[in-house]
Amino acid sequence: MTSRALVPFLVGMMLLTGVCNTLLTKYQDNQCVRNCDDPDPAKRRFFEQPVLQTAQMFFGEAGIWLVVGLRVAYQRFAEWRAAAAKGYQPIASSDAAAAGRASGDDDNDDAASVTSENALIQPSTKRRRASRGPDGLLKGFGILLLALPAFSDIIGTTLVNAGLLMVAASIYQMTRGALVLFVGLFSVVFLHRKLHLFQWVSLVGVVAGVALVGLASVIWPDTRVKVVGQVLGQAIEDATTDDALRAALGVTLIAGAQIFTATQFVLEEFLLERSNIEPIEVVGWEGLFGLAATLLGMLVLHLTIGRTDAGRYGIFDMVEGFRQMTEYQVVWSTSLLIMVSISGFNYFGLSVTRNVSATSRSTIDTCRTLFIWIASLGLGWETFKWLQVVGFALLVYFTFLFNGVVSPPFKFLRPADDEPVEELLPEEPIEHN
């Protein structure tokens, strides 16, 4: 386990990488890549490649194997130093090993080997291995099962990337709070979890919060400079504009994407409960499967749609997408930074979960939304909306209530003293964006 003194550092890095991931993606969306010198702003084209952004996310997740490799190398180096400090010498030949066995030391060697292995296993891993047995679903070719949550991640991430093109960064992050609703429902249906009354009330509150955030983006869309009046009649009139419809579509895409993210969440939990694999390795495997599937899909979509007159310069034109990424230094550099930030967010997030708790990670991640909102306002990417404040407050409160961070306000909502409240969050949740 990591030293408790490092926990604030892990928390800070989780927040930093999470905030950077969203802001860098939005900054990338704002980059002009075609007709940039045209005096008519309506003719300028910006980097709108949600499928390519999905691929770069998976590339970043696959890069987590570098972290795994460094960790294994460090552990082996630490073992070697510890053995050298105690005066142990490694057995250099099979003859020496045979001599040891002949002298009757084989049982002691086996016991020492088991003791050494157990010393390297984290306590949470020991509990999982004790409850799941020596094998698991994710063994051998069973690792291919991780392609299932990866496919869900492909759809969900592509939809949220498309939605982010149409709404402000804070609206995007807040709307993703709908994940709690679908995770709760899917946990009941597929994982046979039990929701208490206060958790059902929390889900209703989350829906209300997401609805208010979405309504704020429709009434006061940030894709134009015009200041919208707060009079109800003026708001209704403005809600029929193209910008308002675009914002509504963006919110719908982001909220709908949470269905696929929740599916990914439930699949990962189901597989982790039945295997001994480390969550950080799950991220790496899903990154490899997701990257391979995304690149193959991009190729097929380019050949069938991207090369046609209607699809040229669109989101399925892979040649145009790679041209935009390679010719514009800002787009290329932000792509690299996004890959680094998503890898860091997963690593530090899993570290926080392991050293604190899953609920604490969920609470800390809520703060990420606040920082993204503040940064987006400071950068001038959006305007302040009082309705968004109300929606965000509802999202935070009912998410905390659902996860047990705050107690139910009324006695009739609280479970009986002898009734256990089952933890709905997995021991080590995996988040990808």
Residue 222 lies in a domain: yes
DSSP string for residues in 145-185: GGHHHHHHHHHHHHHHHHHHTTS-HHHHHHHGGGHHHHHHH
Question: Containing domain of residue 25, as a range?
Answer: 4-80+133-413
Residue 99 lies in a domain: no
Residue 94 lies in a domain: no
Could you read off the pLDDT tens digit of each residue along the chain, which spans 433 residues?
456 678 888 888 989 999 999 999 999 999 999 888 888 887 888 998 999 999 999 999 999 899 889 988 998 998 898 888 876 555 544 444 444 444 444 444 443 333 333 333 333 344 444 444 444 788 888 999 999 999 999 999 999 999 999 899 999 999 988 888 888 888 888 888 888 888 899 899 999 999 999 999 888 887 543 333 333 344 434 444 577 888 899 999 999 999 998 898 888 888 888 888 888 888 899 999 999 999 999 999 999 999 998 888 888 999 999 999 999 999 999 999 999 999 888 888 877 777 766 556 666 777 888 899 999 999 888 888 999 999 999 998 998 888 777 888 888 777 766 555 555 555 555 666 6
Can you read off the two tokens belonging to residue 341?
């930030």
pLDDT of residue 431: 62
Alpha carbons 335 and 90: distance in angstroms, whole number: 45
pLDDT of residue 3: 62
* HEC per residue, the chain: CCCHHHHHHHHHHHHHHHHHHHHHHHHHHCCEEECCCCCCHHHCEECCCHHHHHHHHHHHHHCHHHHHHHHHHHHHHHHHHHHHHCCCCCCCCHHHHHHHHHCCCHHHHHHHHHHHHHHHCCHHHHHHHHHHCCCCCCCHHHHHHHHHHHHHHHHHHHHHHHHHCCCCHHHHHHHHHHHHHHHHHHHHHHCCCCCCHHHHHHHHHHHHHHHHHHHHHHHCCCCCCCCCCCCHHHHHHHCCCHHHHHHHHHHHHHHHHHHHHHHHHHHHHHHHCCCCCCHHHHHHHHHHHHHHHHHHHHHHHHHHHHCCCCCCCCCCCHHHHHHHHHHCHHHHHHHHHHHHHHHHHHHHHHHHHHHCCHHHHHHHHHHHHHHHHHHHHHCCCCCCCHHHHHHHHHHHHHHHHHHCCCCCCCHHHCCCCCCCCCCCCCCCCCCCC
pLDDT of residue 272: 81
Q: How far is CA 291 from CA 141, 299, 430, in A?
A: 19, 12, 17
Can you read off the two tokens belonging to residue 17?
């990488």
Q: Which helix (H) or strand (E) holds 44?
A: none
Residue 121 lies in a domain: no
User: Mind listing the pLDDT tens digit for each residue in 157-193?
Assistant: 999 999 999 899 999 999 988 888 888 888 888 888 8
pLDDT of residue 115: 31
Which residue in the block uniquely carries the two structure tokens 């059902």? 200
pLDDT of residue 322: 92
How many structural domains is the chain composed of?
1
Residue 407 lies in a domain: yes
User: Mind listing the pLDDT tens digit for each residue in 300-312?
Assistant: 999 999 999 888 8
Rg for the chain (alpha carbons), in Å? 25
Residue 124 lies in a domain: no
Residue 112 lies in a domain: no
Residue 339 lies in a domain: yes
- Does residue 365 sit in helix, strand or coil? helix
pLDDT of residue 407: 84
